[in-house]
Amino acid sequence: MRRRIDSLRETLHKEGLEGYLVSNGANMLYLTGFEGGSRLLISADEDCILYVHRVNYDAAEDAVKDCEVRRVDYGDDLERVLARRIESLGLKSLGFDVMDAQTYMKIEKLLRETELKPRRDVMWALRKVKGEDELELLRKAAEITSMGMKKALEIVEDGMVERELAAEIDYEMRKLGSEGTAFETIVASGPNSAYPHGGRGDRRLKRGDLIVIDIGARYRGYCSDMTRTVTLGEASPRKIEIYEAVKEAREKALRIIRGGVKAREVDAEARRTMAEKGYGERFLHGLGHGVGLEVHEPPMLNPKSEDVLTPGNVVTVEPGIYIRGFGGVRIEDTVLVLEEGVEVLTRAPYQMVVR
């Protein structure tokens, strides 16, 4: 973690910031290796203090090696505690990642001599390119997710309730080492598959349904994300046509991904394929997003993205077509951006018809 803190300090010096206040849990985990802190204060020179509620204090002391850990007790006014420390350090410019309006106004009032600067981009710049230690954990998360998907394809059957299949997938990933899911598992069948995030999960699967299965394991803080779409029994010609259009869009997008490519150009490649097939208006979301300690993080692959892909980025590629009242198809993998091409991290069959 020392290397990450030093990298942040280098950025602070370049950006003219004398300190940085971290409130986002994923950012605190990234910098300290501990999940459960309340705030993290880092000066551009020496101080690194993780403030932790007494409930998590012992765990933090055992886990955190490169920062001082301070306990926050019941009744403590954390904002006042922070303000006193910032004043004692003489920090005149303080960047921060996220802060709700009430907290911002309180700290601003307490720190008359310190300029608060919203600089979430500072942390994203560090987190977008994954180190080898992170890639090891991301590969493990992807492996668990892939095994969960393979289990889903083995057990999905006529009459199952959507949430029943979701529960079986979650249980399988837990047994394989997942510490939880990166997001709520989506199983969306029939007309529900036309909604990118599914319905309530109470529909029973039926033969001929399009069934979208979107899952992701979380392993030691790191996430994964993958989707497959299947049907039980025979698929109609239109369903096959839509599936093949999505599959082709995915393949064309993957072919052009490499370091230095603009993220929006990758999105445009997939979107062109959809349009050529007559389904351009039914591709309702961006092509993908970054994956790391959060399941949705930069770089973003969408028509408005300003991101440029860099070797070490881990992103999803997830084209989809959604037709209300009919159904939807999405195919998604998590991939690592290389100098030339990608490494596909999630692996499960691309079979449309099962049983």
DSSP per position, 14-34: HHT-SEEEE--HHHHHHHHS-
Question: What letter does residue 194 receive in the DSSP assignment?
Answer: G
Instruction: Compute the distance between CA of residue 264 and CA of residue 285 in angstroms, rounded to an integer.
Output: 12
pLDDT digits (tens, 9 = 90+) for 40-70: 999 999 899 999 999 999 999 999 999 999 9
pLDDT at 20: 99
Each domain of the chain, given as residue ranges in start order, spans 2-127, 132-354
* Average pLDDT score over the chain: 98
Question: What letter does residue 73 receive in the DSSP assignment?
Answer: -
User: pTM for this one?
Assistant: 0.96
pLDDT at 296 over 90: yes
Mean pLDDT along residues 6-20 = 98
- Smallest CA-to-CA distance from 216 within 174, 181, 187 is with 181
pLDDT at 114 over 80: yes
- Starting at the edge strand that comes first in sequence, how are the strands of the sheet with 115-118 ordered? 68-72, 48-53, 39-43, 19-22, 93-96, 115-118
pLDDT at 46: 85
pLDDT at 348: 97
What distance separates the 2 farthest-apart alpha carbons in the chain? 71
pLDDT at 257: 99
- Smallest CA-to-CA distance from 69 within 36, 105, 106 is with 36
HEC-encoded secondary structure of 258-297: CCCCEHHHHHHHHHHHHHHCCCHHHCCCCCEEECCCCCCE
- Whether 2-127 shares its CATH topology with 132-354 is answered no
Instruction: Say what percent of the chain tops pLDDT 90.
Output: 98
Instruction: Compute the distance between CA of residue 124 and CA of residue 122 in angstroms, rounded to an integer.
Output: 6
pLDDT digits (tens, 9 = 90+) for 140-156: 999 999 999 999 999 99
pLDDT at 253: 99
pLDDT at 182: 99
pLDDT at 343 over 90: yes
- Domain 2-127: assigned CATH number: 3.40.350.10
- Cβ-based neighbours of 205, under 8 Å, separated by 6 or more: 156, 157, 158, 159, 160, 161, 162, 165, 189, 190, 211, 232
pLDDT digits (tens, 9 = 90+) for 83-95: 999 999 999 999 9
Task: Report the b/e string of 315-330 with b at 16+ CB within 10 A.
Answer: bbbbbbbbbeebbbbb
Mean pLDDT along residues 308-334 = 99
pLDDT at 355 over 80: no
Encoded tokens for 214: 């979107």
Do you know the residue count of the chain? 355
- Domain 132-354: assigned CATH number: 3.90.230.10
pLDDT digits (tens, 9 = 90+) for 199-247: 999 999 999 999 999 999 999 999 999 999 999 998 999 999 999 999 9
